[in-house]
Amino acid sequence: MVSFRDGSWLTITPEGFFDVPSPEAAQQYLGVVRGTEISSIDRVYDVFHRPDLVREKLAGDPDGKVKAAAKTLPFTAR
């Protein structure tokens, strides 16, 4: 969890699922790096912007929803 001086915030799980207050905040504070390729978060926003899974992770993922969703990702956040 990170907060910024402009009042924006970001919460991200180890699996890469995140929540932000707006798509603009995501564009400002997040990017994607794979190997030597750097790209905009826009390319994966719909896959990784999962406020529901962030809440689950903060609760300890009691039902295994985050773990199950992570298995379906097109690539890992690591």
SS3 27: helix
pTM: 0.86
In a domain, 77, yes or no: no
Digitized pLDDT (tens) for each residue of the chain, 78 residues in all: 999 998 999 999 999 999 999 999 999 999 888 889 888 898 889 999 999 999 999 999 999 999 999 999 876 555
Under 8 Å between Cβ of 57 and 66: yes
Domain of 65 in residue numbering reads as 2-71
pLDDT for residue 75: 67
Domains in the chain: how many in total?
1
In a domain, 76, yes or no: no
In a domain, 78, yes or no: no
Q: What six digits make up the tokens of 76?
A: 């890992």
In a domain, 31, yes or no: yes
CA geometry: angle 53, 42, 52, nearest 5 deg: 10
d(CA 46, CA 9): 18
